[in-house]
Every structure is written in structure tokens, then in C-alpha cells.
Structure 1
Amino acid sequence: MLLKDKVVIISGIGPGLGIKLAVEAAREGARAVVCAARTPEKLDATEAAIHALGATAADCTVLKVPTDINDAAQCAQLVEETVRRCGRIDVLINSAYEHGSFDPVAQSDLDGWQRIFNTNVVGTLRLTQAVVAQMKRNDGGAIVMINTMATRKPYPGEGAYAASKAAQETAARYLAQEVGRHGIRVNSIFMGWMWGVPVQQAIRMLAQHQKRSEAAVLSDIEANIPLGKMVTDDDCARAALMLASDYARAITGACLDANGGEYMR
């Protein structure tokens, strides 16, 4: 099991990748999965999904901590509660984000950009700093930043989101250099189209806007993916957890693309 006996914090629990990260961490043997999100209902749904694994995750503790990563006190509380209940922190998956509106850069509301950067860069680093301080006491750990292919391949309306995630990537590289001597690894994974609830909703909206079938919209997207089909959010979650696992002990400061080959470097 990739994460056997590890204590894993996942921020940004939601109906797509967030819940899959938590479920797959439990499936991979995590001793505890600590779920953080602003919405308690999302935390409850994640707990139910982990319990539904049955014997596979019978020994996994699920800790639900409502957290807004823009609030320093809530980030500190998340770390304190995790250590109090679980004794340590081995892994942090930074999945919380704010996308904002789909406006062209030239007409964007820059106050909206500020909110997006506050969450995706400052908020993410606020939680990361709190966890790093604890990981130093543990003599190590792994941090994975969930990033986006939109930083590699521009999509209409994604300018603010992509710019904030590009800043997050740079910060992650600097952080990896700074904390490596403490046994802490920091890596980023760049997700593309992922078949799951959020993308299914997006395709439905695109189909309505374009007055086409959902199958036709999906077919156009998959035509640009070398694997021939859209990867799932389950598969992307597993790729992120691989970076968090001991199988990636030689990897830090790296950027992994998980997009079925739609973007290659």
C-alpha cells in the first residue's frame, strides 16, 4: 500500500478530485485521512465514501476539520487538531482552490484576480507553512501541490486561475529547495481534463452553449488526448498520491503532468 500508516491532510475536499484523493488515500493504507473544506456537507460525504470501502479502510481514521485556508487561525487549528488526534503529519495534499469567473484577461476584474491569488497562492502557502513547521519536528514529510494544465496550455477564460497556479508552481520550487534538508519533499502535479462530476457539469454547459450533444463535445476534447480518452479523477488522484508516497523519495521540486498526454514537454 502506497501510504501505509501515514497521516494525510487533504485540503479542498469537494465533489471532484478532493473526495477522490481522500478515498484513494484511505484505500492505500493511510492510518488517518484528515479532510479539510469550508463546507461541512462535503466533509460528511467524504467520510461516507471512505466508510463505504468497508474492510479495505477499516483501520483508517477519518478526521473532518472545517477549514478556510484564507484564515490563519483555521489553518493552525487544522494542524493542531491533526497532531492532537493523530500524533504527526506525514503528507499534505494542497487541493483547495478558487477558480473565479471565465473572463478574458483584457476585460478581467482585477479585484477578482486578487481573491484568486489570495486563495491559490497565499492561502495555500499559509496552510503549507503551518504543516511544514510540524513536519520539521517529525523529521520529514511530503507535500503535493495540485496544479493545472491551464498553466501550460491556455484555455479561454482561465487566465486568472492559470496565473495564480503558475505562481504557486514557482513558490513550490523555492519551498522544495528550502525544506529539503529537513527531509520534506515538495512536488506539483498538473491536472488536465479529468472525468468526474465537475467536468461532467462543464461538458453539459458547453453542450448547451454550443447547441451540440454532450457526446460531440467530449469527442472533440478526447481527439487531442494521445491516450484516446479522458483520464478519470480517480486516476489523477492516484498519481498525486504516488508523489506523496515513499516510492517518490528521490523526487522533490518536480512537476508531473497527469493529462493523458494532451500536454507534453
Structure 2
Amino acid sequence: MLLRNKTTVVTGVGSGLGREMATAMLAAGANVVVAARSADGLRQTAKELDPTGERILAHPADICDDESCRSLVAAAVDRFGSVDGVVQVAAFEDAFGGLFDADLTKWSRAFDTNVVGSLRLLRAAVPVMKERGGGSVVLVGSQSAFKVAMPQAGYAASKGALLSAMYYLADELGPDGIRVNTVVPSWMWGPNVQLYVDFRAQTEGRTTDEILAEITGGFPLRRMTEDREVADTAVFFCSDLSRAVTGQYLLVNSGELMR
């Protein structure tokens, strides 16, 4: 298995992409430390993903808090002895609106969580990864940083900033054997998008298949990428198959930007 004997920390583990990231890491053989702000939901998720509890640890954490990040990494080391990979999924998405109707406090929160929060997490994890002799950091970007879709400029701008930060992180951490890459999804079929599609179908008097066809009809693959397919890309970035890959981003979007 690609990640056997490796330990990966996954943040933002809820019902969507974070859960699929953890699932994919476990399937690849890794020990997985799952993190989110909600302790109760996190413990239940961990139990569902690995009922034995042998290869999973649930540890509540807030990436916007330095001590919380340090506690998360310490818990990973205490339980599994190391940290080989960090998959940073946790994000604040509710930064919608244009120049005059946006709530700029939400812009600030988007940057504080999505960019600065990622740096806080890495400040805690990188020293441990250095001691291990290297590792992999996987950041989660957004195609909204490349293409205007929904009016979510604040969120998109924060993900664009995170992508820029990736290049500097890759350059800084490369000499220590730590690779930094970004997986960039667009539409992902999971709980949140399913709710959106179902809502549109109900309010517009159409079928879910019609809504999906409207969204994906111009994609070369003619379908929507699934959460798990984005997670599988993160497994690649965490594995030795990508041992010479750093400072790169990979669009996982069923070819959408080819339109």
C-alpha cells in the first residue's frame, strides 16, 4: 500500500472532502489523525472510518489557534510516533459578495483561516517532519481562484493567496525533504453539492439529472468529479510516487477549464 507505515494528519474532517481524504489515506495504509473543531462529530467519524481504532486518532483542533495546532501534532507523535504528511482541508468558505455587498469581516476570516491558519498548522508540523527526514504537505486550493463562477471573491482570493504561499513554502522546506503541493478541485459531488443540486431541482421544477447536465455538459468528461477522486490525488502527493514533485498544483475538475 502506498502509505503503509506513514502517518498523515488531515484537518477539516466533516461530512465532505475531509472525510474522503481520511478514508483515502486509510485505504492507502496510513495511520491517520483526523482533526476538526467539533469533538463529538469527529469521534463518531473516526469510529465509522476505523471501528478498531488501530490506525486512526480523532483530535479536535482549530487551525486558527497556535496551541491547538501544537496539541494536534503532539497527539499524532504521541500516538503514532511521527508525522509524515499533512493534508490541510479546513477552510472558511462563507465569503461571498462583490465589492460593495461583501462582508469584509468574512474576507478577513477567510484569509485568517485559509492562509494564515495553514501556516499556523505547518509551523507546528514542520519541525516534526524535519526530524523524520522529510514529508509531504498537501494544500487544498479552489478553481474559483482561476475562474469566476459563484460570487465568492473573498474565498477565491484567499485560495489564490494560499497557492502563492505554496511556492514559497516549497522553496523554503525543500532542502529539508518536505514537499508542498496543492490539489485544486472545482465542482465535487459530495454532500454539499448534492444539497445544492437537490435544492435547484426542487425550486426550478427540474430533475437532478437535468441540473447536473447543465453544470457538467461542457466538461470533457461530461461528469462531476467526486470528493474521493480529489482525495486520491492527495494520496498521490503524500506517497513516494511523487517524491520528486513539489511546488505544483493539480486541477482535478473533469477537464472543466478546457471549455
Q: CA deviation at 1:5?
A: 0.9
Which segments of structure 1 move beyond 6 Å, counting only runs of 4 or more?
Answer: none
Contact 1:203–1:217 (Cα < 8 Å) also in 2 = yes
Moved more, 166-175 or 207-216: 207-216
8 Å CA contact 1:33–1:60 kept in 2: the answer is no
- AA in 1 matched with 2:106: G
| Candidates 241, 246, 250, aligned match of 2:240 | 246
Contact 1:8 1:89 in 2 (8 A): yes
Which residue of structure 2 lines up, in the alignment, with residue 55 of structure 1?
A: none
Which residue of 195, 204, 213 maps to 1:201?
A: 195
Contact (CA 8 Å) 2:84, 2:129: kept in 1 or not?
yes
Offset of residue 209 of structure 1: 4.9
Answer with 241-250 or 211-220: which moved more: 211-220
> How far off its partner does 1:105 sit?
3.6
State how far apart, in whole Å, the 2-side matches of 1:73 and 1:249 are.
Answer: 31
> 1:173 offset after TM fit, Å?
0.8
Q: Distance in 2 between matches of 1:17 and 1:166?
A: 19
Q: Distance in 1 between matches of 2:50 and 2:114?
A: 30
Aligned-residue identity in percent = 39
Alignment of 1:15-164 (within 5 A): 15-30=15-30, 32-51=31-50, 60-164=54-158
Q: TM-score, normalised by structure 2?
A: 0.95
Q: Distance in 2 between matches of 1:156 and 1:23?
A: 29
Is this contact kept in 1: 2:219–2:258, CA < 8 A? no
Cα distance between partner residues in 2 of 1:220 and 1:202 = 13
Structure-1 residue corresponding to 2:214 = 220
Are residues 103 and 79 of structure 1, via their aligned partners in 2, closer, same or farther at CA, if it must alter by over 3 Å? same
Question: Residue 8 of structure 2 contacts residue 33 of structure 2 at CA under 8 Å; is this kept in 1?
Answer: yes
The separation in 2 between residues aligned to 1:227 and 1:131, in whole angstroms, is: 37
CA-CA distance at 1:42 after TM superposition: 3.0
Q: Is the 8 A contact 1:15 1:42 kept in 2?
A: no
Instruction: Give structure 2 stretches of 5+ with no counterpart.
Output: none
Q: From the superposition, tell whether residues 118 and 65 of structure 1 become closer, same or farther in structure 2 (CA, over 3 Å).
A: same
Figure out how many residues of one structure are paired with residues of the other and give that number: 259
| Alpha carbons 1:82, 1:89 under 8 Å: kept | yes
Per-residue deviation, 1:192: 1.1
Is residue 46–residue 53 contact of structure 2 (8 Å, CA) maintained in 1? no
Please report how far the alpha carbon of residue 121 of structure 1 lies from its aligned counterpart in structure 2 after TM superposition.
Answer: 0.6
Tell me the alpha carbon deviations over residues 80-137 of structure 1, each in whole angstroms, 9 at most, x when there is no partner. 1111111110000000000014323442111110011110011111001111121111
Structure 1 CA distance for aligned equivalents of residues 197 and 99 of structure 2: 23
Residues 204-213 or 13-22, more deviating:
204-213
Question: Which whole-Å CA distance do the structure 2 matches of 1:51 and 1:63 have between them?
Answer: 9
Shift, 1:51, TM fit: 2.3
- Higher mean Cα deviation, 74-83 or 97-106? 97-106
Q: 2:226 aligns with which of 208, 228, 232?
A: 232
| C-alpha distance after superposition, 1:169-198 (max 9, x if no partner) | 111110000110000000001001111111
Greater CA deviation, 246-255 or 127-136?
127-136
Aligned partners of 1:243, 1:46: CA distance in 2, in Å?
24
Task: Give, in angstroms, the shift of residue 217 of structure 1.
Answer: 1.4
Which SS does the other structure have where 1:38 is aligned?
coil
1:172/1:186 contact within 8 Å kept: yes
**Over aligned residues, Cα RMSD in angstroms?**
1.7
- TM-score, structure 1 normalization: 0.93
Indicate the larger mover: 215-224 or 246-255: 215-224
Deviates more, 1:106-115 or 1:2-11: 106-115
Distance 1:100 1:236 in 2: 21
For residues 264 and 46 of structure 1, the distance between their equivalents in structure 2, rounded to whole angstroms, comes to: 36
Distance 1:104-1:208 versus aligned 2 partners, 3 A rule: farther
1:7 equivalent in alignment to 2:7: yes
